[in-house]
Amino acid sequence: MDNMEEEIIYADEEEVTYFQSITDYLWDILGFVQNNGWYFLAFIILLAYLVPKLWPHYLKWLEQRAVAAYDADIKKNPDLFKQKQEELQKARAKFQEEYEKKAKIALEKQKEKEKKILEEKRA
């Protein structure tokens, strides 16, 4: 029985120290922010000014990097370029066929509408 009471007391002490350590960290962070708040504010203002100016350059750099990687892949494997072109041609042909089917169906529907209109006029 005494062992259980000792364990419970010991567990309570651990929790207190755990929460105390968290609050200590939070107070340390708060103190750091209080001491260096103007630096944080200046840093945020600097970021707000620089990010919009530098973002297009970053996107351009990413695009150039992707193009360079693609060029390097093609240089390593010339068949890759041919394969990509063939896939592109197949996709274009597929979309063209779908477009032609839809156009044909739309033309048939248009002709049916015209027939109905002519029949209604005659009747």
Q: Does residue 17 sit within a domain?
A: yes
The predicted pLDDT at position 20 comes to 76
The predicted pLDDT at position 22 comes to 84
Domain of 18, in residue numbers: 1-35
Mean pLDDT of the 74-83 span:
87
21, pLDDT greater than 60: yes
Domain count, the chain: 1
Q: Are 74 and 80 in contact (CB under 8 A)?
A: yes
Q: What is the mean pLDDT of the chain?
A: 87
Distances (CA, A) of 12 to 2, 31, 76, 90: 15, 28, 65, 70
The predicted pLDDT at position 121 comes to 85
- Packing angle between helix 37-76 and helix 2-35, nearest 10 degrees? 90
Q: Does residue 47 sit within a domain?
A: no
Mean pLDDT of the 37-63 span:
95
Q: What's the pTM value of the predicted model, to 2 decimals?
A: 0.46
Q: Does residue 88 sit within a domain?
A: no
